[in-house]
Amino acid sequence: MTAPEDLSPRSRLVHDALRAKGIAGEIVMLPDAASTAVLAAQALGVEVGAIANSLVFQCDDAPLLVMTSGAHRVDTAALAERLGTGPIRRATPEQVRDATGQAIGGVAPTGHPAPLRTVVDADLRAFDEIWAAGGTPHTVVPLTFDELVALTGATVADVA
């Protein structure tokens, strides 16, 4: 655990957003960057499926955050059909930064300049504890599935 005052400004925003929602999870600083689900799982000693991978897409001219199990790839065509939206396309690094204030590899489920439409992978429900990025590639935060859904106001869906 890292004391809130020792967090980077991006991770401090995540910490404050967690507390505002009554979530007690503490941001953990990793010694090495964990910018992929595999690296995060290795660093934490957990299954890759327990990593809530944050992926930003563009959908209907707006950002869409998909929190998917690290064991999955998002099927954008199937997800668009399930959500009843137009096409879903991967956001550019600039679009990710504009939407979240965070860089790819460290996008947290919260702490963004404005709320994002969010989808949470239903398969994350299988884990008692899941781990999401904490605003930088060096930070992660433990959450329960219910906390993640409440934190983001997400739609729960199959994403693979």
Residue 83: give its domain's CATH number.
3.90.960.10
Both structure tokens of 22: 């009554």
The answer to whether 21 and 150 have CB atoms below 8 angstroms apart is yes
Using DSSP, state whether 54 is helix, strand or coil. Answer: strand
Structural domain harbouring 39: 4-157
Q: Which of 22-36, 69-83, 141-155 has the lowest mean pLDDT?
A: 22-36
Q: How many domains does the chain have?
A: 1
Task: Tell me which H or E stretch contains 67.
Answer: strand 62-69
| Nearest Cα to Cα of residue 61 among 102, 34, 89, 100 | 89
94-143 pLDDT per residue, tens:
999 999 999 999 999 999 999 999 999 999 999 999 999 999 999 999 99
21-40 pLDDT per residue, tens:
999 999 999 988 888 899 99
9-24 pLDDT per residue, tens:
999 999 999 999 999 9
* Whole-prediction pTM: 0.94
